[in-house]
Amino acid sequence: MEVYVDPGLRADLAAQLDALHRAQTAPWRGVVADYAACLRQNRELDVRVAQLDKEAAELRDEVSALTTRAKAFDAGAARDFATRAEALRQDLSRAQSELASVYRDKSKALEDLIAAQRARDAALASASEAQSNFEARAEEVAALKARLGELGARLDGEAAARQLAANEAEARLSGKEAAEARAAKVEAENAALMQRLLELQDQQAEKLDLINRMHEEMVEHSRRQQLEQAADKQLLSFVKGGLGGGGAGGQQQQQPGAAQLGVMQAKQVLGTLRGVASGAIATALLGRRGSGSEQGGPAAAAAAAALGAAAGTGPSQPAAAGGPGPASPRGDAQQAAAAAGGGEFVPGSLKQLMGLPAAPAGPVPERALPSAPAKSFPAAHKGTVCSVAVMRPGHFVATCGTDRGVLGWDLNTLSSSGSFHGAAGTVNDVAFTQDGRRLLAACGDKRIVTWAFGSAQPGHTLTGHGGGVLAVSCSPLDAAVAVSAGEDRCVKVWDLQRGFCVRSLPCAKMPSALALSLDGTTILTGHLDGSLCLWDMRQDRAGGKALAELRDSAQTVLSLSPHWGDDSTVLTASKDSTLRLWDFRALSVTQTLKAPGFSIGCVGSMGRGRCTCDISADGRFVAAGAADGSVFVWDLKPTSRRRTSDAARGGGAGGGGGGGRSGSGGAGPPVTRLTGMKEQVAAVGWSYDCTSLVTADKTGGVAFWQLTGGGA
């Protein structure tokens, strides 16, 4: 059923509804328009974010490429630029961390946009906040772009620097090849020099063989002259007795002939010595001839003095009162026997001619080791005692230590003979010269201080080492020659008369001990790696190599002590508590000494320790300090003495001894353990007459032990 509606009313109602619709929708049109604008801005932001993502991806690719290039440069660059490459990698890492921070900020912006979409009732506020955040992020992105530009420029600079470094490395490599070529050339020259050195040694050996033959002929000729002289004397006595002449007149007439014979023999000996030994040997020989000149009268004494001046040594001077006397060779008994028989002593070997000790003719008298020291000084030094030196020949001893002091001792009175001052650092070693007139101290302040023995004022101060002086040793034949070894890996030969270094021998290894052979021509050095090197002091020059290198242990050589009864034997002590007797002429070990419970005592750091062990002049006793404060003494019995030929050369071990022995537990020589010191004993020394033993420990104590029984 249709209802009639007035058209006017319908139009009026439609107009009201339209007005109502416009009135209700008008407020929302702005909002809808703003929302549409916000959506458009959102889409623009998405586009912008996509662009930023693309730029970030490009930046990541560029960073990856730069990282790859940096790694390539790192692989080919020199080691000197490793630090710069590490700094560059740190910069790249910081850039990556900053990019990650940007990504986190952009994700936060996206979250803010999603929140704005969900909160439509706060669309305007959210849109404005998103706009502000976007502007801030845009500024940050611009800053990051600028930062990346700077990093790119720095990377380009680093690349150029790496290229320059590569060029420098190539130049250095070419320089290294040239240096290797020069080194090869120098090595070839050294090989030629070593060949020349060996040839010179062969020539020297031939000369020595010729000298020995000449010496044998001279000795035989001298014996014939002695027999002819005795026969002439007997015939003259017989004739004078038959004629009734006085014997005293005959003796007076005989004296000029003996003087002339003494002068002729001295001239022959001097001519031989000029090709064999230095002026010191000639001085010693002439001194012995002068002491026996009573047989030839004033003429023989004047001839001996003239020969001494011709040899360049000058007449022998007497020792000062109270000081050490002149050397007393072992041939005094033969000389006394010859004088008692009315004849002149004729040397039977080159060793007797040069004054070296000879082996005893008969069995060694029985001696016993003491059970306690005869006298001890518990606090002689204020610090650790580093070394002990014995005057040979003589009756004086010197000790040195970390208290920068050197003390002198008299073995006859068992008391101190004075102190020596002048050292500015630790005194590592001390030594007497051959004539006993000087005392040398090796100091840790790179100096060697010398004193005239008996005077507290220092004499020459020897400088030249680049590090602390570790050891010093004096020539047994020439009082003006000394050698030293230092931490600068250098062995130096010193002229004590002029007070400066005459030769330097560089070592490839750090020396730890030093000794000189009895003929004064061979230097022996012990090293930290356990090796024993031999140097010829007559022929080696700077840059030369050792003549030989001996090794029987990998432990540090702590001590070197020459055998004063054998000019080819040296005693070594190693860190492994083993003592060895080396024949350095034959380059072999003749005897090894060990003992149960023996741990060697030493001073110094763990890597550079040192001690002083010693073998008696008669070759019978070997003494070494122990870490427990005792002293171990090995008795080389007569049954272990060397064969007769070695004994004729002056070698061999002494006879048996007394005292309580702890035993060696095997076929080795018996060992005696002496107790009485407080701390570990680091230095020992035998007197020249083999009747006294001097020991010193780390607390500064010094003890003297007197052997009982027969003498030397």
- At 495, give phi and psi (nearest 5°): -100, 105
Instruction: Write down the pLDDT at residue 494.
Output: 93
Does an H or E element contain 569, and which?
A: strand 569-574
pLDDT mean over 285-295 = 38
Q: Higher pLDDT residue, 712 or 12?
A: 12
Tell whether the model's pLDDT for residue 489 goes beyond 60. Answer: yes
Q: Residue 694: helix, strand or coil by DSSP?
A: strand
Q: Which of 595, 575, 610 is nearest to 661 (CA)?
A: 595
Predicted TM-score (pTM) of this structure: 0.51
Tell whether the model's pLDDT for residue 326 goes beyond 50. Answer: no
Q: Which of 614, 621, 611, 482 is nearest to 557 (CA)?
A: 611
Structure-token match 């001298």, residue found: 222
Residues 331, 345 contacting (CB under 8 angstroms) = yes
Instruction: Write down the pLDDT at residue 300.
Output: 37
Tell whether the model's pLDDT for residue 252 goes beyond 50. Answer: no
Rounded to the nearest 10 degrees, the angle between the axes of helix 279-291 and helix 247-276 is 170
Residues 686, 693 contacting (CB under 8 angstroms) = yes
Instruction: Write down the pLDDT at residue 351.
Output: 44
Q: Which of 520, 512, 462, 473 is nearest to 489 (CA)?
A: 512
Most confident listed range (103-117, 178-192, 204-218): 178-192
Tell whether the model's pLDDT for residue 618 goes beyond 80. Answer: yes
DSSP 575-639: TTS-EEEEETTTTEEEEEE--TT--B--BS-SSS-B-B-EE-TTS-EEEEEBTTS-EEEEE--GG
pLDDT mean over 259-275 = 40
Residues 409, 702 contacting (CB under 8 angstroms) = yes
pLDDT mean over 557-575 = 89
Indicate the range of 71-85, 405-419, 441-455, 552-566 predicted with least confidence. 71-85
In this structure, are strands 588-593 and 579-583 parallel, antiparallel, or unpaired?
A: antiparallel
Tell whether the model's pLDDT for residue 653 goes beyond 60. Answer: no
Indicate the range of 219-223, 335-339, 485-489 predicted with least confidence. 335-339
Tokens of 682: 């680091």
Query: Which residues are paired to 569 by β-bridges?
Result: 583
521 vs 377: CA distance, rounded Å: 38
DSSP 27-78: HHHHHHHHHHHHHHHHHHHHHHHHHHHHHHHHHHHHHHHHHHHHHHHHHHS-
Q: Which long-range contacts (CB under 8 A, 24 or more apart) does 205-214 make?
A: 207/275, 208/276, 211/272, 211/275, 211/276, 212/350, 214/272
428 vs 604: CA distance, rounded Å: 9
Residues 323, 454 contacting (CB under 8 angstroms) = yes
Tell whether the model's pLDDT for residue 462 goes beyond 80. Answer: yes
pLDDT mean over 634-645 = 54
Tell whether the model's pLDDT for residue 319 goes beyond 80. Answer: no
- At 317, give phi and psi (nearest 5°): -105, 140
155 vs 160: CA distance, rounded Å: 9
- For 505, residues 6+ apart whose C-beta sits below 8 A from its C-beta are 490, 491, 492, 493, 523, 535, 540, 542, 544
Instruction: Write down the pLDDT at residue 30.
Output: 83
In percent, the amount of the chain with pLDDT more than 70 equals 75
Q: How many angstroms from the chain centroid is the CA of residue 587?
A: 22
Q: Higher pLDDT residue, 639 or 655?
A: 639
Q: Is 689 left (phi over 0), alpha (psi -120 to 50) or beta?
A: alpha
DSSP 391-428: -SSSSEEEEEETTS-EEEEETTTTEEEEEE----S-EE
pLDDT mean over 137-156 = 90
Tell whether the model's pLDDT for residue 249 goes beyond 80. Answer: no
pLDDT mean over 501-511 = 89
Tokens of 599: 């741990």
pLDDT mean over 222-226 = 81
649 vs 556: CA distance, rounded Å: 31
Residues 508, 491 contacting (CB under 8 angstroms) = no
What is the chain's mean pLDDT, rounded?
Answer: 76
pLDDT mean over 567-575 = 90
219 vs 265: CA distance, rounded Å: 10
Q: Express each pLDDT in 361-381 by its tens digit.
A: 445 456 788 889 999 998 889
Q: Higher pLDDT residue, 401 or 2?
A: 401
Tell whether the model's pLDDT for residue 694 goes beyond 70. Answer: yes
Instruction: Write down the pLDDT at residue 104.
Output: 86
Residue 544 burial (CB < 10 Å; 0-12/13-18/19+)?
A: middle
Indicate the range of 36-50, 503-517, 601-615 predicted with least confidence. 601-615
Instruction: Write down the pLDDT at residue 242.
Output: 55
Instruction: Write down the pLDDT at residue 667.
Output: 61
- At 109, give phi and psi (nearest 5°): -65, -40
Instruction: Write down the pLDDT at residue 318.
Output: 33
517 vs 538: CA distance, rounded Å: 13
Instruction: Write down the pLDDT at residue 366.
Output: 67
- The number of residues making up the chain comes to 712
What single-letter amino acid sits at 399? T
Q: State the pLDDT confidence band at 578, using cuts at 50, 70 and 90.
A: very high
Structure-token match 């005194």, residue found: 427
Tell whether the model's pLDDT for residue 464 goes beyond 70. Answer: yes
Instruction: Write down the pLDDT at residue 331.
Output: 44
